[in-house]
Structure 1
């Protein structure tokens, strides 16, 4: 899904305000819709497509609403894909309605000041309030709410501490956050449950954030929690090797062998009982090929699938791609040339006259579902093929090509090496070859 914002300068009203409109493109569909917000043209940032943070622009009210509209559209598409159906224009309009025209009751709830926290609330009641507030809070840079996966992590931490309290029959309190609690929870997690160090560290990190929030509410918190260590062990990640990536590249969908296997998979996965609803084989096979190419797009650029789906020719500036990441709003500078392994230009040229809305590649719905078929065709069993694996493959193989870490981080949009390292895998074969090349006694 590609979502863009436009300031309609051609519709400036008598007071000098112009309306803000959205254009939403997905799966060959396009919807143009007004946001219900207006702004003076001098207060509109053409580069970031949001209201400038200047006095009198009401950016604190308008920008969060614009972000909420985008979030509602993306959620509607995600929900439709999870239900294995295409998102219709009418369904999208209905999904956006509560954000575009909130009812009086919801508007009252949104503007009502938060009720003061009572010290009489229990530990887990306070944690629930913290989770709810975290879910409503917008990121100060992107104006987006917390990701669903991050919110699920907070809920998982609350559930884990509830389990610990019930199992050990120890009530948790803000005043009880001391070293004795820390050691007891560590033993429970790592010795009794056999959890990894990083899992224990994640729960402690979230606990520290929660207790800091409690302090901001002027609640009596044992300050010893600030000394809670957050252990973290780098374990590496999975990424395709150069050999595995080439196997995916070399899949020839016009060959008799691949066509035969595709037909077998199609027959096996689509019951004859539902033959009336069986998707056309040629269209289905073409979508498998598009899923392969969409994966390669992620592997060649290091982009998240959400950004790869909106990557267009107007982002290409000579031999570089300039794209602002949707999740972090950070600029990504990605090489746009072909070498012996990364063939982004050739891939884009193959779709130049077949893609819609100037996109490098067409939108590919349910891409990870179709990548399971690509994985079978390529004979890859070591790991599961997903678009996220493409991003990790880009990072890992670029490092093995000798590209400096900082240069790769400029392509992926990472600002810290600690977050960047979560995308670095280990190709043991390439690693051994590098050691042997540098060894004077190597045979």
Structure 2
């Protein structure tokens, strides 16, 4: 059975169009269903003929454009003939893919995203953590809703993924999904990972992210002042479990370890350093980078306090860390008891180490970056922007020097 098709060249009006040439698209239609392809050419609306679907005029540029469109029409006819000879089903999409020389295999955005997540799931515990997979699954859900809302489809061909797609998805996440800017940046980053895969495997010829510029403003890192930290340290706590959480939080304030890293910290990772003092020599779970941290006295006191704890002795760990959910729940109790207004979480301890404990006391930012296990010192520089106390101390020292020079 012969399946016929229709071909139409038309001008597609861009969003926020005001004036000037419009992109030319070709629409292939088979049995009521259509597929579109950009011809990578433009034409002025006042010169375009809606009957002939060509540009009017006798200019060389017009003749060249119309000749180009005639050639595309011939190439589509050849693609249609090839499908017939191969006795393959002719649809708008199969004809489009044959025309584009895709060997009848077309790729869908959500299909590729799902394949990525399935591969990630197979690597849990080896290369990825469950929370990472959870984030990508949530990201996939938002992308599904966006495509369904905007395009009224269950999935979309990968070649539809262009700058406009990304820009509108960014807007959707902020406006419709009510995501915070930092969350939007994370989901866009997930999509970019899929795009990079498509670029490397030649599924995409051009990078749709080349013109996209995220508008994320770096949030200032919140942290505890020394006075607030001292308040937590000296607070009398009746509950042994809450006291244990407080101690581990304080330990992280003086070491910069994240929850994941302090939980896995083993006793054999506490070793003599280059200066003969006790150091933490560990590898960050998140980035797998080396982290070497000289232990300060408050941290050493806490290690000594829990050295005989049954869990620490049995498992060879430094501290008896509870689940993240329980730890953060107890931290809220501690914050209330100590009149701490900040949202007391384990990551706040890491911020406090970077600011109050180290940078404010004159530790060079390069050393802080190394101890935190940052891959890029720019990440550490975000902390340096919030240390007014350090600036004040530096300026006081400068005033003293200048005053002595005047005298």
TM superposition score category, shorter chain reference: 0.5 to 0.7
* Alpha-carbon distance in structure 2 between the residues aligned to 1:214 and 1:361: 44
Specify which of 393, 397, 413 is matched with residue 352 of structure 2.
393
Q: CA deviation at 1:413?
A: 1.8
Q: CA deviation at 1:324?
A: 2.0
* Alpha-carbon distance in structure 2 between the residues aligned to 1:288 and 1:191: 40
Specify which of 110, 121, 129 is matched with residue 147 of structure 1.
129
User: Does the residue aligned with 1:309 lie in a helix, a strand or coil?
Assistant: helix
Unaligned segments of structure 2, at least 5 residues: 1-102, 401-407
Q: CA deviation at 1:293?
A: 0.7
- Residue 335 (structure 2) pairs with residue 375 (structure 1): yes
The CA deviation string for residues 33-79 of structure 1, in whole angstroms up to 9 with x for no partner, is xxxxxxxxxxxxxxxxxxxxxxxxxxxxxxxxxxxxxxxxxxxxxxx
The structure showing larger relative contact order (alpha-carbon pairs under 8 Å, at least 6 residues apart) is: 1
* Alpha-carbon distance in structure 2 between the residues aligned to 1:118 and 1:408: 54
Aligned residues: 285
* Alpha-carbon distance in structure 1 between the residues aligned to 2:138 and 2:305: 45
- Residue 110 (structure 2) pairs with residue 124 (structure 1): yes
User: Does the residue aligned with 1:175 lie in a helix, a strand or coil?
Assistant: helix
Residue range with higher mean Cα deviation, 352-361 or 286-295: 352-361
Specify which of 198, 206, 214 is matched with residue 223 of structure 1.
206
- Residue 114 (structure 2) pairs with residue 156 (structure 1): no
Residues 174, 420 of structure 1: CA spacing in aligned structure 2 closer, same or farther, 3 A cutoff?
same
Specify which of 154, 159, 165 is matched with residue 181 of structure 1.
165
* Alpha-carbon distance in structure 2 between the residues aligned to 1:354 and 1:190: 47
Specify which of 237, 244, 255 is matched with residue 301 of structure 1.
255
Contact 1:336 1:344 in 2 (8 A): yes
User: Does the residue aligned with 2:291 lie in a helix, a strand or coil?
Assistant: strand
Match of 1:133 in 2: 119
Normalising by structure 2, report the TM-score: 0.60
- Residue 396 (structure 2) pairs with residue 410 (structure 1): no
User: Does the residue aligned with 2:160 lie in a helix, a strand or coil?
Assistant: coil
Specify which of 290, 298, 305 is matched with residue 350 of structure 1.
305
Q: CA deviation at 1:246?
A: 0.9
Q: CA deviation at 1:438?
A: 6.1
Residues 354, 153 of structure 1: CA spacing in aligned structure 2 closer, same or farther, 3 A cutoff?
closer
* Alpha-carbon distance in structure 2 between the residues aligned to 1:389 and 1:166: 38
Specify which of 148, 151, 155 is matched with residue 166 of structure 1.
148
* Alpha-carbon distance in structure 2 between the residues aligned to 1:153 and 1:293: 30
Contact 1:309 1:363 in 2 (8 A): yes
Normalising by structure 1, report the TM-score: 0.55
* Alpha-carbon distance in structure 1 between the residues aligned to 2:293 and 2:120: 33
Contact 2:267 2:318 in 1 (8 A): yes
User: Does the residue aligned with 2:158 lie in a helix, a strand or coil?
Assistant: coil
